[in-house]
Structure 1
């Protein structure tokens, strides 16, 4: 039986101790869209706060960014799913711009290209690592992507059909690689990037960044997996 969602878009928000940031994030969810907060082991009451603020909160005991994102994807029911960090570094109010090309059928996967609003918004080591990974993606796939950031939008059933397997930091990269392999139209649009609320679990330290690079390098080393083609050409990213 096909489930019909009352929501046009579901927004997956991975969460690990984000109680300080959640009020800002959830108050900026577009009207009529649903926030799915995926708690990944918080000890600060984040999931209860999320429910109090009107979000749908679920728990994913397996740690990992990809584990949380995929749990949110499988819990979603809307035709279109967006992903966004829950640390207030990205403004969910910009999600209609990101999801727009997916909703109107002109793109299959849209990535939010982060544009720092201040010098301290994006640590240099994390930014350099991201630039190098984006360069390797362009070289491998031909998709002119410049950022592998967490704000993105695509259709739920198509994402599930990609068969994503990474459950760590390589999840967003694997999504782009498999989408490109399937012939998806992949594009990007600029979004402002603010200093996050609280300390980053990944890019806040060299160790966290190095682990993320290792996770993504392992994904890049995978042989292209056969995935269902969408019969669509690739769209170049926004320069």
Structure 2
């Protein structure tokens, strides 16, 4: 069954719920990126494998988790409670069955406040540019996704900031992968605003990092 990489920075409030929702057979790998709130200990107490990722950056944490994974299929998702781990089979199943090479969860907000307007707008711009530049039929650079571990490692991803998720899709498209998306629920995160799109500044930083990937 799949491994699930959970990049983590100060997610103590969300981790118990997130880890309790993992489907049977899915193994959690919490890639801690320098938390100061006890997140690694909480993750370990709830049965997760914990790896410590440096330097600071979303991509650094995600890739450290990928390198620590041992399952054939690897999923990624945020550790902040905005995504329901119970829906992981939606993205993992088609990859395991061999009908998709990379499957992304297209976020569908469950409440009006789950996804701020600036976050939706920034994501839409990047997805539109991706469709035009690479012909990839996706509308969301969703943080819940699945692919095969060895194939992901062979992509030789180098971004260690917020461009990592986009670089994965771009390199997969260049390699001729079958890429698709499936709807998943998106709820307000636990413990406050998202570090990525919870503020206008965070959204602009993410769009900047992703734009650098598209410019390469």
2:140 paired residue number: 147
1:44 paired residue number: 37
Q: Gaps spanning 5+ residues in structure 1: where? A: 1-7, 223-239
Please state how far the C-alpha of 1:139 moved relative to its aligned partner. Answer: 0.5
Please state how far the C-alpha of 1:134 moved relative to its aligned partner. Answer: 0.4
Find the aligned partners of 1:143 and 1:154 in 2 and give their Cα distance.
Answer: 16
1:111 pairs with 2:73: no
2:211 paired residue number: 217
Find the aligned partners of 1:38 and 1:153 in 2 and give their Cα distance.
Answer: 16
2:47 paired residue number: 54
Find the aligned partners of 1:148 and 1:79 in 2 and give their Cα distance.
Answer: 22
User: CA offsets, 1:170-210, max 9 Å, x none?
Assistant: 00000000000000000000000000112311211111111
2:153 paired residue number: 160
1:5 paired residue number: none
Find the aligned partners of 1:96 and 1:215 in 2 and give their Cα distance.
Answer: 29
Which of 179, 183, 188 is matched with 2:172 structurally? Answer: 179
1:132 pairs with 2:125: yes
Q: CA RMSD in A?
A: 0.6
Q: Give the TM-score normalised by the residue count of structure 1.
A: 0.89
Which structure has the bigger radius of gyration?
A: 1
2:200 paired residue number: 206
2:79 paired residue number: 86
Find the aligned partners of 1:195 and 1:78 in 2 and give their Cα distance.
Answer: 30
Find the aligned partners of 1:98 and 1:32 in 2 and give their Cα distance.
Answer: 15
Q: Gaps spanning 5+ residues in structure 2: where? A: none
Which of 186, 189, 195 is matched with 2:182 structurally? Answer: 189
2:9 paired residue number: 16
Runs of 4+ in 1 over 2 A off after TM superposition: none
**SS of the residue 1:58 aligns to:** strand
Find the aligned partners of 1:201 and 1:132 in 2 and give their Cα distance.
Answer: 19
1:27 paired residue number: 20
Find the aligned partners of 2:125 and 2:201 in 1 and give their Cα distance.
Answer: 17
Which of 108, 113, 123 is matched with 1:120 structurally? Answer: 113
Find the aligned partners of 1:42 and 1:19 in 2 and give their Cα distance.
Answer: 9
Please state how far the C-alpha of 1:61 moved relative to its aligned partner. Answer: 2.8
Q: Give the TM-score normalised by the residue count of structure 2.
A: 0.98
